[in-house]
Amino acid sequence: MTFAELWRELEPIGRDPQTGGYRRYSWTEADAQCRAWFTGQAAKRGLAVETDNNGNLWAWWGPKRPGAVVTGSHLDSVPDGGAFDGPLGVVSALAAVDLLKDKDFSPERPVVLAAFTEEEGARFGVPCLGSRLLAGVVDPDAARVLTDDAGTTLADAMIAAGTDPGDLGPGDDLLRGIGAFVELHVEQGRALAPMGAALGLAEGIWPHGRWRFVFSGRADHAGTARLTDRRDPMLPYAATALAARQAAADRGAVATFGKVIVEPNGTNAVPSAVRAWLDARAADESVVEDTVTTVRSAAEGLCEEHGVTLSVRQESFTPLVRFDQALRDRIAATLAAAGVQAPVLPTGAGHDAGVLAARVPTAMLFVRNPTGVSHSPAEHADLADCEAGVRALAAILEDLAGPA
């Protein structure tokens, strides 16, 4: 099948008709449909699909042998996310297999298509949860009790989806069998368009993390409580959001409060609590730490002023990731031989490739995003660029899984 045919099939699943954005949260009905679609497509191609202990899907082309060449990405989305972030890598992988089959290529090392679970952390708060569990960097007991906003634990969500959460944990044998992992992903940001390049290669991933700030005050009546008597957590939170912007701007970092939960969330009530999540990223780990420390001390001062208590907890942190230089050079040579120039770019976005890079030689291929907008229904890549991505991926797989 062509890329466009595959894309059309997956496109409607989990799309909200009001916003046009995707709500493909892990272990939901939309997620189950995406998984079923991927499994069906893999089966049609004669690939053997397996689900690992952590819910990640692996479709094997060729018998299981060491040195597997893995490609893929994720199918879950952020709230009202775009169509491309994640699925582009999975659909391109299927389309690349078709290109290779059309030319009667048969892999000497297995080619494996992967779809990772809960990459965005949109439901349970920890990004790249599936790949982190696989790599053994998240404790399975801690993972099982992660809760979504409705209070459902990961364990219960998995059971409801018919999957046993009892086996969560590292997959050392699986990882040992991987010779290379190449994740194709839509560009997030806008670096390729000004360079006139359809494709790019990742240099590394900025260190990044998430911190949960809880501002606890006292619920009160919005009409009768005198301003001076209030302990309103919204006020220190609001000023903290501004402080985060300033702290990031002063340091060449980025810092975002993108998720806020207000309790009790009533129009006529002074809130009792504001829970807010800070996402901070920078080229350097010390800059991320310094940014967060500055935001935190600003929040502490503001809370004192307003009689509000503060607690801050780090929910995740991912150190600087450098992708494998030798693999990148080899891919660049393959692409150059095919007449494709792919500039090397740093990225501020986290990926499963960033997690796996600690364990296996890993590379990322970006497909141009003309506006740079991502994590939004406006996220886009042109069909011609997606097709160029598929051809490039096929050439890379042919080289990596072909005769030594």
Residues that bind Zn ion (CB under 5 A): 85-86
Kindly state the smallest distance separating residue 85's Cβ from Zn ion, in Å.
4
Kindly state the smallest distance separating residue 185's Cβ from Zn ion, in Å.
6
Q: Which residue in the block uniquely carries the two structure tokens 């992988």? A: 93
Q: Name the CA dihedral angle for 69, 180, 76, 31, rounded to a multiple of 10 degrees.
A: 30
In the three-class reduction of DSSP (H, G, I as helix; E, B as strand; rest coil), residue 16 is classed as coil
Distance, CA of 48 to CA of 44 (rounded, Å): 10
Kindly state the smallest distance separating residue 33's Cβ from Zn ion, in Å.
19
Kindly state the smallest distance separating residue 381's Cβ from Zn ion, in Å.
13
The secondary structure of residue 47, as a DSSP letter, is P
Kindly state the smallest distance separating residue 177's Cβ from Zn ion, in Å.
24
Toward Zn ion, which CB reaches closer, 256 or 309?
256
Toward Zn ion, which CB reaches closer, 188 or 294?
188
Toward Zn ion, which CB reaches closer, 31 or 85?
85
Residue 165 backbone phi and psi in degrees, to 5: -85, 0
Toward Zn ion, which CB reaches closer, 86 or 130?
86
Toward Zn ion, which CB reaches closer, 113 or 310?
113
Distance, CA of 357 to CA of 330 (rounded, Å): 16
Q: Which residue in the block uniquely carries the two structure tokens 């397996």? A: 50
Toward Zn ion, which CB reaches closer, 272 or 347?
347
Q: Which two tokens stand for residue 294?
A: 């500055």
List, in order, residues 6 or more apart from 162 with CB less than 8 Å away: none
Distance, CA of 391 to CA of 365 (rounded, Å): 12
Kindly state the smallest distance separating residue 37's Cβ from Zn ion, in Å.
18
Q: Are 279 and 212 in contact (CB under 8 A)?
A: no
Residue 14, judged by CB atoms within 10 A of its CB (0-12, 13-18, 19+), counts as: buried
Kindly state the smallest distance separating residue 127's Cβ from Zn ion, in Å.
9
Kindly state the smallest distance separating residue 326's Cβ from Zn ion, in Å.
25
Toward Zn ion, which CB reaches closer, 127 or 171?
127
Closest of 150, 28, 13 to residue 86, by C-alpha:
13
Distance, CA of 368 to CA of 360 (rounded, Å): 26
Toward Zn ion, which CB reaches closer, 82 or 177?
82
Q: Which residue in the block uniquely carries the two structure tokens 């309790």? A: 263
Q: Are 367 and 385 in contact (CB under 8 A)?
A: yes
Kindly state the smallest distance separating residue 234's Cβ from Zn ion, in Å.
32
Distance, CA of 43 to CA of 37 (rounded, Å): 10
Distance, CA of 307 to CA of 99 (rounded, Å): 64
Toward Zn ion, which CB reaches closer, 85 or 187?
85
Distance, CA of 30 to CA of 24 (rounded, Å): 5
Distance, CA of 306 to CA of 378 (rounded, Å): 39
